[in-house]
Amino acid sequence: MTSKVPFRVLQSLGLLLCLMFSFAAPSFAQQTDPRPMIDALSKADFGEAEKLIGQLAATGDARLVPALNAFSEGDLYFRKSDNLVFIGKAAGSNYELIDPVTGASAGQAAKNAVTKIKINNSLRRVIRSAMGGLTLLSPDRGVRLQAADAVLRSPSAENLELLETAISKEADREVKARMEEARAVSLLSSDRSIDEKRAAIATIKNYGGRNAIGILMGASASLDPSLKADVDAAIASIESGQRLWDIGQNVWYGVSLGSVLLLAAIGLAITFGVMGIINMAHGEMVMLGAYSTFVVQQLIRDNAPGLFDWSLAIALPVAFLVTGAVGFVIERGVIRFLYGRPLETLLATWGVSLILQQTIRSIFGPTNQEVGNPSWMSGSFPVGGMTITWNRMWIIAFSLSIFVALLVVMKKSSFGLNMRAVTQNRRMASSMGIKTPWVDAFTFALGSGIAGIAGVALSQIDNVSPNLGQSYIIDSFMVVVFGGVGNLWGTLVGALSLGVLNKFLEPSVGAVLGKILVLVLIILFIQKRPRGLFALKGRAVEA
Partner 1 sequence: MISGFVFRALEGRIVAAVGILLAIGILVPALNLLTPADSAIHIPTYAMSLFGKYLCYALLALALDLVWGYCGILSLGHGAFFALGGYAMGMYLMRQIGSRGVYGNPILPDFMVFLNWKELPWFWHGFDWFVFAMVMVLVVPGLLAFVFGWFAFRSRVNGVYLSIITQAMTYALLLAFFRNDMGFGGNNGLTDFKDILGFSVQADGTRAVLFFMSALMLSLCLILASAIVRSKFGKVLVGVRDAESRVRFLGFRVENIKLFTFVVSAMMAGIAGALFVPQVGIINPGEFAPANSIEVVVWTAVGGRGTLIGPIIGAILVNGGKSFFTGAFPEIWLFALGALFICVTLFLPRGIVGTIQHGFRSRKAYKAAAEAEKGRDAQPSVAQAAE
Of residues 97 and 281, the one with the C-beta less far from partner 1: 281
Find the binder of partner 1 among 62, 127, 152, 352 (CB under 8 A): 352
Tell me which of 22, 31, 105, 358 binds partner 1, using CB under 8 A.
358
Identify residue 177 by its one-letter amino acid code: A
Question: Applying CB under 8 A, which part among 4-12, 108-116, 161-169, 352-360 lies near partner 1?
Answer: 352-360
Please, what sign has the CA dihedral across residues 119, 120, 124, 126? Answer: negative
137 neighbors 59 (Cβ within 8 angstroms):
no
Mention every residue, 6+ apart, whose C-beta is less than 8 A from residue 312. Answer: 293, 374, 377, 456, 460
The count of residues in the chain is 543
The reply on whether position 535 binds partner 1 by CB under 8 A is: no
> How far does Cα 75 stand from its chain's mean position?
32
Site for partner 1 in 322-351 (CB under 8 A): 334, 337-338, 340-348, 350-351
- Does 275 participate in binding partner 1 (rule CB under 8 A)? no
Residue 102 in contact with partner 1, rule: CB under 8 A: no
Question: DSSP string spanning 228-239?
Answer: HHHHHHHHHHHH
CB of 522 to partner 1, least distance (A): 7
Q: Which is nearer to partner 1, 333 or 384 (CB)?
A: 333
For partner 1, give the closer residue by CB, 342 or 384. Answer: 342
Dmax (CA) for the chain in angstroms is 101
The minimum distance between CB 120 and partner 1, in angstroms, equals 32
User: Minimum distance between the CB of residue 35 and partner 1, rounded to whole angstroms?
Assistant: 55
Question: What binding mask, one character per residue, do residues 476-515 give for partner 1 by CB under 8 A, x or -?
Answer: -xx--x------------------------------xx-x
Q: Kindly report the number of other CB atoms within 10 A of residue 85's CB atom.
A: 25
Q: Residues with Cβ < 8 Å from 524, sequence gap 6 or more?
A: none
Interface of this chain with partner 1, residues 369 to 428, rule: CB under 8 A: none
Instruction: State the CB neighbour count (10 A cutoff) for residue 6.
Output: 9
Pairing of strands 105-110, 94-98: antiparallel
414-424 and 390-412 helices, crossing angle to 10°: 70
By CB under 8 A, tell whether 1 contacts partner 1.
no
Q: Tell me: does residue 536 bind partner 1 (CB under 8 A).
A: no
- # residues contacting partner 1 (CB under 8 A): 43
User: What share of residues in the chain are helix, strand, coil (percent, to 5)?
Assistant: 75, 5, 20
Binding mask of the shown chain, residues 279 to 298, with x at each position contacting partner 1 by CB under 8 A: -x------------------
* Residue 501, CA distances (Å) to 348, 495, 505 in order: 33, 10, 6
With contact defined as beta carbons under 8 Å apart, do 479 and 498 qualify? yes
CB nearer partner 1, residue 172 or residue 344: 344
Question: Would you say 274 and 491 are in contact if contact means Cβ atoms under 8 Å apart?
Answer: no
* Cβ nearer to partner 1, comparing 439 with 481: 481
Which one of the spans 131-139, 354-362, 387-395, 437-445 is the region binding partner 1 (CB under 8 A)?
354-362
Minimum CB distance to partner 1 smaller for 241 or for 437: 437
Q: Residue 255: what residue type?
A: V
Decide: is 355 part of the binding site for partner 1 (CB under 8 A): yes
Mark the segment that binds partner 1 (CB under 8 A) among 88-96, 143-151, 454-462, 517-525: 517-525
Beta strands 386-389 and 380-383 are antiparallel
What residues pair up with 388 in beta bridges, in sequence order? 381
Residue 168 Cβ, how far from partner 1 at the closest point, in Å?
55
Q: Which of 4, 528, 537, 539 is in the footprint of partner 1 by CB under 8 A?
A: 528
Of 441-480, binders to partner 1 (CB under 8 A) are: 470, 474, 477-478
What minimum distance in Å lies between the beta carbon of 193 and partner 1? 48
Instruction: Please give the C-alpha separations between residue 270 and each of 266, 279, 397, in angstroms, as whole numbers.
Output: 7, 10, 20
Residue ranges binding partner 1 (CB under 8 A):
278, 280, 334, 337-338, 340-348, 350-355, 357-359, 361-362, 470, 474, 477-478, 481, 512-513, 515-516, 519-520, 522-524, 526-528, 530
